[in-house]
Amino acid sequence: MLIIFYIAAAVAVIATVLVITQHNLVHALLYLVVSFLAVAMAFYVLGAPFIAALEVIIYAGAIVVLMIFVIMMLNLRQESVAQEKKWLNARIVIGPVILTLVLAAELLYMLSTETSVHLTGEVIGAKAVGMSLYGHYVIGVELSGILLMAGIVGAYHLGRQKKKVTHRFLEKQEE
Amino acid sequence: MDDATIDQLLIIGGVLGGLLLVAPGLIWLERRMLALWQDRYGPNRAGPFGLLVVLADTLKLFFKEDWTPPFADRFVFTIAPGIVVITVLMSFIVVPFAPGVIVSDLNIGLLFFLANSSLGAYSIILGGWASNNKYSLLGSMRGAAQMISYEVFMGLAMMGVVLLAGSFSMHTIVEAQKDMWFVIPQFLGFVIFFIAGIAETHRLPFDIPEAESELIAGFHSEYSGMKFGIFFVGEYLGIILISSVTVALYFGGWLGPDFMPPLVWFILKTFAFICFFILLRASLPRPRYDQLMEYGWKILLPLTLLNLMVTAGIVLLNKGI
């Protein structure tokens, strides 16, 4: 099982790097889907099938679809790909890469010295997830609910249209 | 190999082979049924009852020029039709055809089905986007909005069944219907699930992403040859999938009187729903796009939430006493 986890993790990392380096936005989002699927696989191997399913349903199935939806509306074509190519040159990458290497070195050091995390093989089902969400973490769930509500109200406010009246007399009375 | 492994392989082969044989057969069935309901003959020349029309159609699709438009995004254009078939076939992994005849009885079975149906949306979206054609783009934008919205109601409607059965596993859900089919306590849930299922497979009357009369076939305008054929087969596989999941969730799956084997019961019930899909196509007109969305969010969503709340309350009461 451990080898499956490492393969899934490697796929996730490679796909995520490709998300950043792709010039075409839709291709980048496709790699993002692959990355989410790989993370779901890793969750499944670690004994959290419920979270794995939610990862696919919510992230890969809904959120990325919404992103692609927005990008389709923007109708980006060859010009944007060329612009992206111009922006994404090698010099920009140097800074993040050095910082990431520092983090990676730290991680390797930790892994080599600390006792490694044990895979218990214990399966965490839907019930356990629900109990912890509505028991221990209930404040977090409610706060994120309020945040989403604010987002929906804001979107409704921005998207609301005034009723247009095209009648020659009534037109003047409106506003 | 031991017997269990061979049995497993036989089940996988049987399900895959059966589905891929039945899906083209449905094309013939649909044409004949539509003709029956519209007082026509339908295909009746090639072979007995016109059955060979399926073979002729397939051969025609194989020999047609497989044309990729020069303005299309070649890579995405090619993989888009495959996605729908792969995700639908993956969903069949968790469908219980008879006791023991199931590819894998995952304990998150229903969620697996939902996950695959939500990934199926990519087929339409990417196909339409990669075609680089305004009608295709319009079709795929409608498709994306429609499939994301109706997935919500589909998932919420299913949760009533999950509450009653106490499990996400399809096998357990069918077993839990020994005394009463879930269609009786969950009638509202069944209706909403079925409507959402039609919208998910984008069949008439909800075939808004393709809408021949306004979008000239929408997301697959630019597809020809076998790539179009794969979209076509994917659509029919989707009909079989929604019908069989409806049967498993609400109509007792393989359960039935003893004079016929369980598998036959399952196939008969599924067949009835497939015919209902075709009847819908023959009888209902297509709503407008905004009507579809309004109907979903303003009517179906409150109804599903109400259904879920009442079901949960009743389950809780029964447990408490």
Chain B residue numbers touching A75 (CB-CB < 8 A): 137
Spatial contact of B151 and B196, defined as CB atoms under 8 Å apart: yes
Angle at A43 between CA A41 and CA A49, to 5 degrees: 90
Domain that holds residue B226: 3-320
Closest CA to B223 of B139, B309, B163, B117: B139
* ipTM of the shown complex: 0.78
Per-residue pLDDT at A144: 93
Q: What's the structural domain count of chain B?
A: 1
Place of tokens 């221990």: A136
Alpha carbons B235 and B242: distance in angstroms, whole number: 11
Q: Which residues, in sequence order, are CB contacts of B109 under 8 Å at separation 6+?
A: B94, B168, B169, B170, B171
Q: Which residues, in sequence order, are CB contacts of B216 under 8 Å at separation 6+?
A: B135
Per-residue pLDDT at B165: 84
Nearest CA in chain A to B119: A61
Looking at CA atoms only, how far is residue A36 from chain B in angstroms? 12
Secondary structure string (H, E, C) spanning A16-81: HHHHHHCCCHHHHHHHHHHHHHHHHHHHHHCCCHHHHHHHHHHHHHHHHHHHHHHHHHHCCCHHHH
- Which of A24, A62, A65 is opposite residue B125, by nearest beta carbon? A65
Alpha carbons B280 and B203: distance in angstroms, whole number: 9
Place of tokens 């369980």: B262
Chain A contact for B104, CB < 8 A?
A: no
Chain A contact for B86, CB < 8 A?
A: no
Alpha carbons B58 and B229: distance in angstroms, whole number: 8
First-last CA distance in chain B: 51
Closest CA to A18 of A33, A31, A37: A31
Nearest CA in chain A to B109: A53
Spatial contact of B198 and B157, defined as CB atoms under 8 Å apart: no
Banded pLDDT at A95 (limits 50, 70, 90): confident
Alpha carbons B224 and B226: distance in angstroms, whole number: 7
Nearest 5°: phi and psi at B101? -90, 80
Taking only the tens place, the pLDDT of each residue in A25-76 is: 888 888 898 899 899 888 888 888 888 888 888 888 888 888 888 887 776 6
Taking only the tens place, the pLDDT of each residue in B97-156 is: 878 777 777 778 888 888 888 888 888 888 888 888 888 888 888 888 888 888 888 888
Spatial contact of B193 and B246, defined as CB atoms under 8 Å apart: yes
The count of CB pairs under 8 A between chains A and B is: 71
**Which one of A65, A66, A123, A134 makes the best mutation probe of the B interface by having the most chain B beta carbons within 10 Å?**
A65
Spatial contact of B136 and B128, defined as CB atoms under 8 Å apart: yes
Bridge partners, residue B98, by sequence: B101
- Which of B106, B141, B168 is opposite residue A126, by nearest beta carbon? B168
**Does the pLDDT at position A116 exceed 60?**
no
**Does the pLDDT at position A90 exceed 90?**
no
**Which one of B74, B77, B83, B129 makes the best mutation probe of the A interface by having the most chain A beta carbons within 10 Å?**
B129
Q: How far is CA A67 from CA B99, B113, B130, B139, B230, in A?
A: 42, 23, 16, 17, 26
Bridge partners, residue B101, by sequence: B98
Q: How far is CA A131 from CA A137, B100, B112, B168, in A?
A: 9, 32, 21, 17
Chain B residue numbers touching A49 (CB-CB < 8 A): 106-108
Chain B residue numbers touching A129 (CB-CB < 8 A): none
Nearest CA in chain A to B149: A62
Distance of CA A109 to the CA centre of its chain: 28
Largest CA distance in chain B: 68
Closest CA to B287 of B216, B222, B220, B195: B195
Residue-by-residue pLDDT tens, chain B, 321 positions? 567 777 778 888 888 888 888 888 888 888 888 888 888 887 877 778 778 888 888 888 888 888 788 877 788 888 888 888 888 888 888 888 878 777 777 778 888 888 888 888 888 888 888 888 888 888 888 888 888 888 888 888 888 888 888 888 888 888 888 888 887 788 888 888 988 888 888 887 887 777 777 777 777 778 887 888 888 888 888 888 999 999 888 888 788 777 778 888 888 888 888 888 888 888 888 888 888 888 888 888 898 999 889 988 888 888 765
**Which one of B73, B108, B131, B154 makes the best mutation probe of the A interface by having the most chain A beta carbons within 10 Å?**
B108
Looking at CA atoms only, how far is residue B74 from chain A in angstroms? 12
Angle at B137 between CA B134 and CA B139, to 5 degrees: 110
Subunit contact A60:B140, Cβ cutoff 8 A: no
Per-residue pLDDT at B80: 86
**Would you tell me how many other CB atoms lie within 10 Å of the CB of residue B170?**
26
Determine the length of chain A.
175
Q: How far is CA A140 from CA A85, A134, B38, B294, in A?
A: 41, 9, 57, 31
**Which one of A68, A76, A124 makes the best mutation probe of the B interface by having the most chain B beta carbons within 10 Å?**
A68
Chain B residue numbers touching A24 (CB-CB < 8 A): 73
Token pair in block for residue B62: 């194989």
Per-residue pLDDT at B1: 57
What are the structural domain ranges in chain A? 2-129
Query: What is residue B141's three-state secondary structure?
Result: helix
Per-residue pLDDT at A139: 92
CATH architecture of A2-129: Up-down Bundle (1.20)
Subunit contact A65:B148, Cβ cutoff 8 A: yes
Q: Which residues, in sequence order, are CB contacts of B188 under 8 Å at separation 6+?
A: B303, B306, B307
Side chain identity at residue B280, one-letter code: L
DSSP assignments along B213-254, one per residue: HHHTTGGGTT--HHHHHHHHHHHHHHHHHHHHHHHHHHS-TT
Side chain identity at residue A107, one-letter code: L
